[in-house]
Amino acid sequence: MSLAAAARPALAADPALRPVISFHGVGKTYPNGTEALHDINLSIFQQDFVFLVGASGAGKSSLVRLLIREEVSTSGRIFVDGQELSRMARRRLPRLRRKFGIVFQDYKLLPRSTVAQNVAFALQVTKPGQRHLREKVEESLWIVGLEDKVHKFPDELSGGEQQRVAIARALVHRPPIFVADEPTGNLDPDTSWGIVQLLLQINHRGTTVVMATHNREVVDLVRRRVVAIEGGRIVRDEAQGQYLREGDATLVSGGNR
């Protein structure tokens, strides 16, 4: 049992609340022989906010790729929402992906589409003919604070704004789990801080958030669960300081920027 679960005994004891995400003895060795992950055990509960930290090359991205099943583990078992990933049929992959909102260090925006078109694209290709598309896109852009940049193109935006567009796109189909791999990797500290606050807000709305980062500063500023990875192993899994009261998502050191 992870420390995070132990930190919330009332919730962990409730059998109805099994982890949204769990890794059981998971290993990943790439075809070239690199062992990126070794015996990973991890449970993440609904509405958790988890930082995956570790130096570059530690295995954070590998873990994220296993989680969203961009890669398949070479040993152990991974469950998402009760479903085992390594045995999942390929045709179920789209349904799994729709449970995630995913952002990366590079924003992966369509350069020839406007901000609104970029966000709408996610719905158009998963739920064609979706009603109230425009309202959903606008709402998503409002959450990330870009409601006035709707008709801009990505190259007219700053890096932080582009990452916000990517976040809005990841949110637009209201996923229960939000996964970010180095979302602040290309951003200056101030902008990074804004992105992290945004993720905390998203978490406060009820979404489970997993954020991989090698940026210790950001992690230190927020009292959330930290899973530290080194050389493909989890070396630490603990709440930073202590958990805030349930539902209280304000930052402990929010003013300290």
Partner 1 sequence: MITLLATLRFTLVSAVQNFWRNLAVSLAATCTMGAILLFIGGILLGTHMLNQMLTAEQAKASNIKIYLEDGVSLGSIANLQSELRADPRVSAVHFENKDDAAKEASSQVENFSESLKVLGSNPLPASLNLDLHRLADLPAIDTMARRNAIVQRGNLATDYNPAIIDKLQTLITWAWRFAVGFLIVFGTLSVVIIMISIRTAVLVRRREVEIMKLVGATDWFVRGPFILEGVIGGVIAAAISGTVIAAAYKPAVDHLRSTLFFFPLSYDGSYLAVVALLLFAAGIGLGAFGSYLGVRRFLTV
Ligand X SMILES: Nc1ncnc2c1ncn2[C@@H]1O[C@H](COP(=O)(O)OP(=O)(O)O)[C@@H](O)[C@H]1O
Per CB under 5 A, residues contacting Mg ion are 61
Q: Are 99 and 176 in contact (CB under 8 A)?
A: yes
Q: Judged by CB, which is closer to ligand X: 74, or 191? A: 74
CB of 181 vs Mg ion, minimal distance in Å:
6
CB of 100 vs ligand X, minimal distance in Å:
17
The one of Mg ion, ligand X, partner 1, none whose footprint includes residue 164, by CB under 5 to 8 A per kind, is: none
The token pair that represents 27 in the structure block: 């290993």
Pick from 90, 155, 245, 247 the residue near partner 1 by CB under 8 A. Answer: 90
The yes or no reply on residue 129 touching partner 1 (CB under 8 A) is yes
The one of ligand X, partner 1, Mg ion, none whose footprint includes residue 54, by CB under 5 to 8 A per kind, is: ligand X
CB of 170 vs partner 1, minimal distance in Å:
8
Q: Judged by CB, which is closer to partner 1: 172, or 234? A: 172
Residue 109 has phi, psi (to 5 degrees) of -95, 155
Stretch that binds partner 1, among 19-27, 43-51, 96-104, 240-248 (CB under 8 A): 96-104
CA–CA distance, 59 with 212 (Å, rounded to integer): 10
CB of 36 vs ligand X, minimal distance in Å:
3
Residue 66 has phi, psi (to 5 degrees) of -70, -40
| List of residues 6+ apart from 198 with CB closer than 8 A | 143, 144, 145, 164, 167
CB of 166 vs partner 1, minimal distance in Å:
10
Q: Which residue has the tokens 């694209």?
A: 121
The yes or no reply on residue 110 touching partner 1 (CB under 8 A) is yes
Please spell the DSSP secondary structure of 57-92, one letter per residue. Answer: TSSHHHHHHHHTTSS--SEEEEEETTEESTT--GGG
- The percent helix, strand, coil of the chain (3-state, each to 5) is 30, 25, 45
The yes or no reply on residue 87 touching partner 1 (CB under 8 A) is no
Half-sphere exposure of 70 (CA within 13 A, CB side): 9
Binding site for partner 1 (CB under 8 A): 68, 90-91, 93-98, 100, 102, 108, 110-111, 121-122, 124-131, 169-170, 173
